[in-house]
Structure 1
Amino acid sequence: MRELGVDRTYVRIMPDTPHDTVEGLRTIIARYVEGGVVVDNIRNMTATSMLDDIMLATPLRERKIEAFKAWLRKVHAVGLTYTIALASPGFVLSSGFAQLRGGVQAREVDLSKPLRRGLPQNPGVVVSDERPVGERPYTHDEVFGNFVTFLREIEPVVEETGVRVGFHPDDPPIPEAGRAARIFSTEDDIRTAFHAATSDKIGLTICCGTWLEGIGDPVDAIYEYVPTGRVWEVHFRNVTATLPRFSETFPDEGYYDMFRIMEALVATNYSGSINFDHELPIVGGSRAYAAYAQGYMKALLAQAQRD
């Protein structure tokens, strides 16, 4: 990371491991500090991402809300001030792989095929009307009401700890998954959810890839939300097309000019983190793709700052 000129990073941890404790988080942060890199945030892949029980108000809702609050307090205890959350019934969905240049296999979403939870390299169960997310259908108003209840529960802890929460849009941005409505899939829905929060420490993660999948133009989102001071993370990812079928791809090979995004971030004085999001399995592995993606991003940033 230091060779690439990276000064911030984020880390993912799995639940119920030695890392999922205050001492475990401190160990992670100390390792990066020793290497000269600041940990911007740590993502708990269950406490902040697998929120079906909260969004669908199952009997486990209160336990999951308490787990989310406990995570905020852990993050605060180790000196961090931000965490990402994904409130999408069904989680991230994929249909399989598409082949990119050089034979690289990338995540594909094709709505004519079965959708599975998770990324295709680690697929979960199929989500469909025949294999629903919950025990019954859930309407948009119902899911949104559950989300607002969740906000009211966590807002006091957010204010108490000072830990900011950035909600990630639905990926892919489809109106429902497995008979459960999703409320972060359109510009209007995202706007409504954003303004439902009463704390200025609850905001939005602008995932450019998800916006490009079918929400709209990420530049419009940047100009709308970054000036509010409630965007702390941007995912810099390109895709080949909009729904009903797309695949993730290299930043220079998708349908969108990613330079426009960097220009908008500079123009709006964005000061949060930018990461390249889902890595592609190129020859050389994750470090090779990190070098490619970071180099591309840094070049665009340098040009945007020069213009």
Structure 2
Amino acid sequence: MSSDSDVEGSVSRFEELPMRVGLGQFMDPTEKRLRYVKQLGVDDILLNMYQYDPDYEHMPDDERMPLEGDDEWSVENLIALRERVEDAGIRLNAIENVPISFYEDVMLGGPERDEQLEKLKRTIRNIGEAGIPIFGYHWAPAGVWRTGSTSVRGGAFVSAFDAGELDSTLTHDREYTEAELWENYEYFLEAVLPVAEEAGVDLCLHPSDPPMERLGGVPQLFRNFENFKRAMDLVPSDNHKLDLCLGCWSQMGEDLPEVIRYFGERDEIGYVHFRDVEGTVPAFHETFVDEGNYDEYELLSTLDSVGFDGMMIPDHTPHLEDDTDWEHRGRAYTVGYLRGMLRARRAETRGE
């Protein structure tokens, strides 16, 4: 069992930690939220910054982060953020998903691409200087799509997707080609990976959600195993890794143990979103971690067998009775389930 002193003593040595259960997908680490995290037996978090709130002290005053002025996401603010988390005996593992507007032109090859790239590079440098080892990102200008909701066990609510309910509305100014998106992605990697290497930050790529061929006229590059292989080989770097969202991979219908073995043996899994769905594209709905498409214990065991030593967090969870917007009850269920599986795996490997 970890103690607060264990956490404080190892907060800067993530490489020495074992595979473990974390939490995330909230923005403001209030004292109440951090206490709750510790009460669940969790010592590791990521903070998800995809939402913009001008009143939040750790975000810039201007969402578009202009090159001039004092409204950058500063090293000082990031250090204050990390120290606030550490004061609660918790490690801040990652910053995930700055707002799309920070790099939309980078993804689509727009007129502000190079300006936005400079902002991203400064952000990566600042994250590294602040002692935060991971920056999670996506490559989905059209965003995350769902077409509705449904209920699962006991009437818990979950999100659902059915491509048959989509229309042909464009999300941007025109249709984009897959070749354009690949060219833009390579341009992005060539620009930011040297910065990440220098800063000591791993860049972790999230899959397209849902992994359709295109949405709103925009190709969804990261929709299958082959495209991820291509992405990881496009610009070789030890600092380019995956945010392995098992729910998205489950939506694809890929062989998940094979996926884990392939990227895990190459040391390309940065951290894991541990969730599941029922069904695959073009229609699926989210569900409890123990009721989806895959064998959850098999995947956890496979992660362990390939030497994965990062953080696993509950991703989207069912909305339980009297839950909050963050689904704190659904997340507590998933944390307990993951901790139980991890303990069983440890007992199993001790007996081998």
Shift of 1:179: 1.6
Shift of 1:197: 2.2
Candidates 57, 73, 76, aligned match of 1:18: 57
Any unmatched runs of 5+ in structure 1? 115-127
Could you list the per-position Cα deviations for residues 3-46 of structure 1 after superposition, in whole angstroms to 9, with x for gaps in the alignment?
22211111123445421233332232222211111111122431
Q: How does 1:162-173 map to 2 (within 5 A)?
A: 162-173=200-211
Aligned to 1:7: 43
- Whole-angstrom distance in 1 between the partners of 2:46 and 2:322: 21
Q: How does 1:1-307 map to 2 (within 5 A)?
A: 1-13=37-49, 14-15=51-52, 17-20=56-59, 21=73, 22-46=75-99, 51-114=103-166, 129=168, 131-285=169-323, 286-307=327-348
Shift of 1:284: 4.3
Q: 1:266 and 1:228, CA in 2 relative to 1: closer, same or farther beyond 3 A?
A: same
Q: Which moved more, 1:26-35 or 1:187-196?
A: 26-35
- Whole-angstrom distance in 1 between the partners of 2:276 and 2:305: 20
Q: Structure 2 length as normaliser, TM-score? A: 0.78
- Whole-angstrom distance in 1 between the partners of 2:247 and 2:91: 25
Aligned to 1:122: none
Shift of 1:277: 0.6
- Whole-angstrom distance in 2 between the partners of 1:282 and 1:112: 28
Paired residue type of 1:281: H
- Whole-angstrom distance in 2 between the partners of 1:274 and 1:176: 28
Aligned to 2:23: none
Instruction: Return the structure number with greater relative CO, CA threshold 8 A, min gap 6.
Output: 2
- Whole-angstrom distance in 2 between the partners of 1:205 and 1:44: 11
For residue 279 of structure 1, give the secondary structure of its aligned residue in structure 2.
Answer: coil
For residue 164 of structure 2, give the secondary structure of its aligned residue in structure 1.
Answer: coil
Identity, in percent, stands at 28
Shift of 1:99: 1.2
- Whole-angstrom distance in 2 between the partners of 1:51 and 1:214: 26
Paired residue type of 2:346: Q
Q: How many pairs align?
A: 292
Shift of 1:50: 6.5
Could you list the per-position Cα deviations for residues 257-296 of structure 1 after superposition, in whole angstroms to 9, with x for gaps in the alignment?
2111111011111101101111322124233222211110
- Whole-angstrom distance in 1 between the partners of 2:193 and 2:94: 19
Q: Structure 1 length as normaliser, TM-score? A: 0.89
- Aligned residues: CA RMSD: 1.8
CA contact (8 A) 1:238 1:248 kept: yes
Paired residue type of 1:25: L
- Whole-angstrom distance in 2 between the partners of 1:26 and 1:137: 41
Could you list the per-position Cα deviations for residues 135-192 of structure 1 after superposition, in whole angstroms to 9, with x for gaps in the alignment?
2221111210110011111122112211110111111111111122221111111110
Paired residue type of 2:291: E
- Whole-angstrom distance in 2 between the partners of 1:181 and 1:175: 6
- Whole-angstrom distance in 2 between the partners of 1:70 and 1:284: 41
CA contact (8 A) 1:110 1:245 kept: yes
CA contact (8 A) 1:52 1:90 kept: no
CA contact (8 A) 2:212 2:282 kept: no
Q: 1:157 and 1:88, CA in 2 relative to 1: closer, same or farther beyond 3 A?
A: same
Pair member with larger Rg: 2
